[in-house]
Amino acid sequence: MTVEEGFINIENSKMRPLAGEAEGIGLDDRAFWERLMEEALEQAREAARQEEVPIGAILVGHGGERLATAYNQPRGLADPTAHAEINLLRQAARELNNYRLPGTTLVVTVEPCLMCAGAMIQARVARVVFGAFDPKAGALGSLYDLSRDQRLNHRLEVISGIREAECRELIQDFFKARR
């Protein structure tokens, strides 16, 4: 599923604009999200160089300022929770001295898992943009969909399928090389 297929209703977004949106680049401008995804892909490539599962992420504020970048490090840190998204949220929370990150957008190469999606909800991340779907562990549309769970006290806006083929290929090539 992609943005064009209506995973979210972009026109009804209540988000404040990110840098670039004010100049006419809106939520439905795929090029805007693709530029941010390139930064997440760079982080994923670094994870691969470190022999970690190649998932990378970037967090931007409502004004488009880069708050943090991170990649997967569970093996290197001997920490099963050291996913790119968790590392990113921890880094940004420390930097901002606040465990809440309202108005932020998290861009990640692969659909977040249940742990990471839950952490984003707890941090009050406003929007998640991801590349490749994860049919085995994805918690924002594939296996689960925490973004639409009415029982939770916070909703994530989700934009999916940004540079999907490139994100999917990076992770598939990583696992093919290890089989």
39 is catalytic: no
Q: Directed axis angle between helix 30-49 and helix 84-96, to 10°?
A: 110
One-letter amino acid for residue 124 of the chain: R
Q: Where are the alpha helices (DSSP H) in 52-113?
A: 74-77, 84-96
Assigned token pair, 117: 């999606």
* Choice among 21, 52, 85, 157 that is catalytic: 85
Please provide the size of the chain in residues.
179
Assigned token pair, 174: 């990583």
Shortest CA distance to 69 belongs to which of 108, 115, 16? 108
Active-site residue set: 85
